[in-house]
Amino acid sequence: MTEEKWWQKAVVYQIYPRSFQDSNGDGIGDLKGIISRLDYVKKLGVDVIWLNPIYKTPNIDGGYDISDYQAINPDFGNMADFEALLSKAHQLGLKIMMDLVVNHSSSEHEWFKKSRQGRQDNPYRDYYIWHDPVDGHAPNNWGSFFSGPAWTFDKDSGQYYLHLFAKEQPDLNWENPNVRQSVFDMMNWWANKGIDGFRMDVISLISKPTGLPDGPQSAEAPFGNAADVVANGPRVHDYLQEMHQKVLGRYNWITVGETAGVTVEESKKYANLDGRELNMVFQFEHMGLDGNPNPALGKWYDQPVTLEALRHNLTKWQTALSGTAWNSLYWNNHDQPRVVSRFGNDSPAYRVYSAKMLATILHFMQGTPYIYQGEELGMTNVNFDHLSDYQDLESINAYHELVDDTQLVAPETMMSYLHARSRDNARTPMQWDNSAHAGFSTATPWLKVNHNYHNINVESALKDPNSIFYFYQRLIQLRHELPVITDGRFALVPENENDNAVFAYTRQNNTQTLLIIANFTDQTLTRHYPLPTQHKLLIQNYSDDQGETLRPFEAKVYAY
């Protein structure tokens, strides 16, 4: 076992700047707003803040389309504001992890503007992935993650360029050493500002497969699935090892790879504890279990996952990486619905119980936990009435493709799918108090506030000793105090392997055992788990312990 690293004991809090706190009354969250709320983040007890992109951007995709990697989005402030944020965070003992989006840039980036100027004598042409038409068509069947084709034809030069995401997000050509060096120089420039690490957007997609083969295409789908053939491409580990040599190895950072499509075996390369590439993966298998049974509809669906499938998957990752590689632990982020609505029960009777239950199951696992802003309040999904209330291009494009173009889904059904799975569920403004616009802004926010802010907000959470907030605070504190949460072996309780209502597991090291029990249903159940006579109850979400009786969404942890 390698020596313990600081980031193995750390807890990360994710801030989506556009939706956290507006400081100047334009309805858009900003850096000064974040500064004004750092004390709140500190009170929760986390160690690191991950900031979603704050760079200059045309904002086609929530800032994941960057037109200048070394400038701040003016909606959010300027470089002096960033420096102030970093220094205030450091004073409070909080680290700042930045988003690194280098699978693609914005089509407004200087590199792409130059790249599209022509094929001759153009050192920037090969910064992106250009291809001649094949039989008058796009080079292959790949679809964009945001609907439509992954190739756009450029009339002026007679070639197609690749964009796995929106057409305004052209993919960078990592095979070009100048691209890699430009990225590494940019990373070192941020390092000199004193940042504490990077979260690397879709880093598993940077190495494209040789020959750009078609992806698998299901019967009704208009395009092939690019992710299946692009993820974990032939040179991705070479590129990350080069990045480690030229950048990462110089700093005591936290580095996390957003690795869609990563397998357990691949994770042992990306996030091996030998430290040649990244600290940890951020993988998506448990986010993909409740997709539509029709592959043409992908993530668009409104039915919940079964506990068996969820437990099976989480258990697989807990056991497979143990001692070899490191994983992130998360229930939601800016791309995912709210955990309490998706895996719990957000009705008034059960919202608080189920939010605490889900937090318990996750926070006693091995890995580095990520808390997405508002999760610590039990913020819920939002049921917008109209498509026009949505701002997220993935949601809007999917609606048009599935309802209008292919007519695979009826309009009401698609609204139900958006209510369940749209990325905007995560992006509604942070709910600070009961005042207009939830205290997020004095103006109308860029995206509607969830109506339930009158009940669910920071001000009331801080007044209530039984709030979800204080429960998370306690979970974070326990991780900092008890080594077994970081280094203990994970095992499912044998009696529990096929239980369709309760999730129970143990963590064990040489000095301590923890038994974690969680009822995933709204029913009262009876379960018997062997427990030594000498034990104590470490944390629970009800006010008393009724032994073998498990009340709706009850969670408790014994230590012995």
When asked if residue 22 is in the footprint of Ca ion (CB under 5 A), the reply is yes
* Chain-centre distance for alpha carbon 4: 24
Q: What are phi and psi for residue 69, nearest 5 degrees?
A: -70, -15
Q: Which of 277, 335, 401, 499 binds ligand TEU (CB under 6 A)?
A: 335
When asked if residue 236 is in the footprint of ligand TEU (CB under 6 A), the reply is no
Nearest distance in Å: CB 36, Ca ion: 11
Nearest by Cα to 357 from 307, 404, 309: 307
By a kind-dependent CB cut-off of 5 to 8 A, residue 24 interacts, out of Ca ion, ligand TEU, none, with: Ca ion
Place of tokens 């500064």: 35
Q: Which of 69, 128, 130, 145 binds ligand TEU (CB under 6 A)?
A: 145
CB nearer to Ca ion: give 78 or 306. 78
Cβ partners under 8 Å of residue 343, min gap 6: 304, 305, 310, 331, 354, 358, 520
**Edge-to-edge strands of the sheet including 489-492?**
489-492, 502-508, 513-519, 555-559, 536-540
CB nearer to Ca ion: give 255 or 431. 431
CB contact at 8 A, 468 and 359 = yes
Nearest distance in Å: CB 446, ligand TEU: 16
Q: Which of 150, 195, 202, 271 binds ligand TEU (CB under 6 A)?
A: 202
When asked if residue 26 is in the footprint of Ca ion (CB under 5 A), the reply is yes
When asked if residue 201 is in the footprint of ligand TEU (CB under 6 A), the reply is yes
CB contact at 8 A, 59 and 76 = no
CB nearer to ligand TEU: give 130 or 165. 165
When asked if residue 24 is in the footprint of Ca ion (CB under 5 A), the reply is yes
When asked if residue 282 is in the footprint of ligand TEU (CB under 6 A), the reply is no
The SS3 call for residue 308 is helix
Cβ partners under 8 Å of residue 225, min gap 6: 142, 143, 215, 216, 217, 218, 295
Distance in angstroms (rounded) separating the CA atoms of residues 452 and 351 = 12
When asked if residue 101 is in the footprint of ligand TEU (CB under 6 A), the reply is yes
Tokens of 266: 């691949």
By a kind-dependent CB cut-off of 5 to 8 A, residue 26 interacts, out of Ca ion, ligand TEU, none, with: Ca ion
Distance in angstroms (rounded) separating the CA atoms of residues 360 and 557 = 8
By a kind-dependent CB cut-off of 5 to 8 A, residue 101 interacts, out of Ca ion, ligand TEU, none, with: ligand TEU
When asked if residue 393 is in the footprint of Ca ion (CB under 5 A), the reply is no
What is the total count of residues that contact ligand TEU (CB under 6 A)? 15
H or E segment and range at residue 81: helix 79-91
Distance in angstroms (rounded) separating the CA atoms of residues 543 and 417 = 36
Interface mask toward ligand TEU for 158-197; x: CB under 6 A: -------x--------------------------------
Nearest distance in Å: CB 88, Ca ion: 18
Rg of the chain's alpha carbons, rounded to an integer? Answer: 23
CB nearer to Ca ion: give 24 or 413. 24
Q: What angle is formed at CA 67 by the lines to CA 61 and CA 69, rounded to 5 degrees? A: 105
Q: What angle is formed at CA 302 by the lines to CA 292 and CA 281, rounded to 5 degrees? A: 65
When asked if residue 443 is in the footprint of Ca ion (CB under 5 A), the reply is no
**Edge-to-edge strands of the sheet including 159-162?**
130-131, 159-162, 151-154
By a kind-dependent CB cut-off of 5 to 8 A, residue 517 interacts, out of Ca ion, ligand TEU, none, with: none
CB nearer to ligand TEU: give 288 or 483. 288
Positions annotated as catalytic residues are: 201, 258
When asked if residue 394 is in the footprint of ligand TEU (CB under 6 A), the reply is yes
Q: Which of 12, 13, 20, 30 binds Ca ion (CB under 5 A)?
A: 30
When asked if residue 331 is in the footprint of ligand TEU (CB under 6 A), the reply is no
Tokens of 510: 């040489």
Distance in angstroms (rounded) separating the CA atoms of residues 258 and 255 = 10
The SS3 call for residue 6 is helix
Cβ-in-10-Å burial (0-12, 13-18, 19+) of 467 comes to buried
Span 406-435, contacts to ligand TEU by CB under 6 A = 423
CB contact at 8 A, 431 and 438 = yes
By a kind-dependent CB cut-off of 5 to 8 A, residue 61 interacts, out of ligand TEU, Ca ion, none, with: ligand TEU
Interface mask toward ligand TEU for 42-61; x: CB under 6 A: -------------------x
Place of tokens 């053939």: 229
Nearest distance in Å: CB 557, ligand TEU: 31
By a kind-dependent CB cut-off of 5 to 8 A, residue 28 interacts, out of ligand TEU, Ca ion, none, with: Ca ion
CB nearer to Ca ion: give 23 or 207. 23
Distance in angstroms (rounded) separating the CA atoms of residues 340 and 525 = 21
Q: Which of 64, 128, 384, 553 binds ligand TEU (CB under 6 A)?
A: 64
CB contact at 8 A, 489 and 505 = no
Interface mask toward ligand TEU for 298-327; x: CB under 6 A: -x----------------------------
Nearest distance in Å: CB 482, ligand TEU: 31
User: Interface with Ca ion by CB under 5 A: which residues?
Assistant: 22, 24, 26, 28, 30
Residues at the site binding ligand TEU, with contacts judged by CB under 6 A: 61-62, 64, 101, 145, 165, 201-202, 258, 260, 299, 334-335, 394, 423
